Amino acid sequence: MTRFFIAGCATLFLATPAFAEPNNPADIWVIDGDTVRIHDKYPNVRLVGFNAPEIHNASCPAEAELGARATRRLRELVRAGGLDFEYVRCSCPEGTQGTFVCNYGRTCGTLRTTGRDVGAILIEEGLAVAFVCSTNGCPKTPRPWCRP
């Protein structure tokens, strides 16, 4: 069986189904609503399939507030446990993986809690939006937080 997975900033092609390994909540440090650090190692990981509002470089006060809420919610989801994390290939132009041009030097991954993708949960709760990329690139990052 071939698995084809597209989620914001990442595409993964595997000959067999991928299995994520369970993680201890203490192994995952939440940076913001869509970025984590695994086992306290760099580079940070951009979670794929969604975009959460910014907290540090917000375009407006509403984005900063929503970004803080998304970050708090992701921390709650991580603390709840039942975590499965998996690194995936970032959808960046060939030769740019691991560089600032590709996700600001971050790697890419997916995170699930009790079998559900954390991005899907944040989207469902209005704390993020879907962000799906192609094999080697992404559309303009959706940032609807400051629209009137």
According to DSSP, the residues that pair with 37 across neighbouring strands are: 29
Q: Report if pTM > 0.85.
A: no
Q: How sure is the predictor about 13, in pLDDT bands with cuts at 50, 70 and 90? A: very low
Residues 51 and 54: their CA atoms lie apart, in Å, by 9
Strands (E), 8-113: 10-14, 21-23, 28-32, 35-38, 41-47, 49-51, 83-88, 107-113
* Each residue's pLDDT tens digit, 97-137: 888 888 888 999 999 999 999 999 999 999 999 988 777 77
Contact assessment for residue 146 and residue 63, using Cβ atoms and an 8 Å cutoff = yes
Residues 60 and 147: their CA atoms lie apart, in Å, by 9
